[in-house]
C-alpha cells in the first residue's frame, strides 16, 4: 500500500500501520476490546493533504477490504476486514495534534 501510494503521490512522506492499544501516552496499554477496531489501521504522512490522495486511499482501502473479506471467517463482523486510514500533514505532525502526534511518539 505504501509503495503504491509513494509511486502516485510525490507529497507522501511515510505510511505507518499502528495498533490503538499501543498508541497511548499512559504507562499501560489500553485494555483490549476484541472486535471493536478495524483490522488494519494506517496513518499516511504527507506534506499537504489533497483530494486526490484521499481518493486513492479510499480506492486502496476498498480493494484491500474485499481481499480480506474473502480470507477472514464469514461469521466475523465487518471490522475484522476493514481498513481505516488517516491522512496527516506536516502541521499536524510537527504540532503533535490528532493522529499526527502518533507519528513521532514513542
Global pTM reads: 0.74
The average confidence (pLDDT) of the chain is: 79
Q: How many CB atoms lie within 10 A of CB 35?
A: 9
Kindly calculate the radius of gyration of the chain based on its CA atoms and give it in whole angstroms: 15
Are the beta carbons of 89 and 99 closer than 8 angstroms?
A: no
What does the pLDDT read at residue 93? Answer: 94
What does the pLDDT read at residue 91? Answer: 95
Helix (H) or strand (E) holding 97: none
What does the pLDDT read at residue 6? Answer: 85
Domain that holds residue 55: 2-103
- The total domain count for the chain is 1
DSSP output for 27-49: SSPPPP-TTSS-SEEEEEEESS-
Confidence label for 92 from pLDDT (cuts 50, 70 and 90): very high
Is residue 76 pLDDT above 80, yes or no? no
What does the pLDDT read at residue 77? Answer: 66
Amino acid at each position: 500500500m505504501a509503495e503504491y501510494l509513494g509511486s502516485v503521490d510525490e507529497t507522501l512522506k511515510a505510511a505507518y500501520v499502528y495498533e490503538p492499544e499501543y498508541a497511548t501516552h499512559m504507562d499501560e496499554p489500553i485494555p483490549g476490546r476484541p472486535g471493536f477496531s478495524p483490522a488494519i489501521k494506517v496513518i499516511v504522512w504527507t506534506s499537504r493533504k489533497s483530494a486526490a490522495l484521499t481518493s486513492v486511499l479510499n480506492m486502496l482501502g476498498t480493494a484491500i477490504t474485499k481481499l480480506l473479506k474473502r480470507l477472514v471467517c464469514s461469521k466475523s463482523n465487518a471490522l475484522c476486514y476493514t481498513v481505516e486510514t488517516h491522512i496527516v500533514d506536516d502541521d499536524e505532525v510537527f504540532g503533535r495534534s490528532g493522529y499526527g502526534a502518533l507519528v513521532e511518539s514513542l
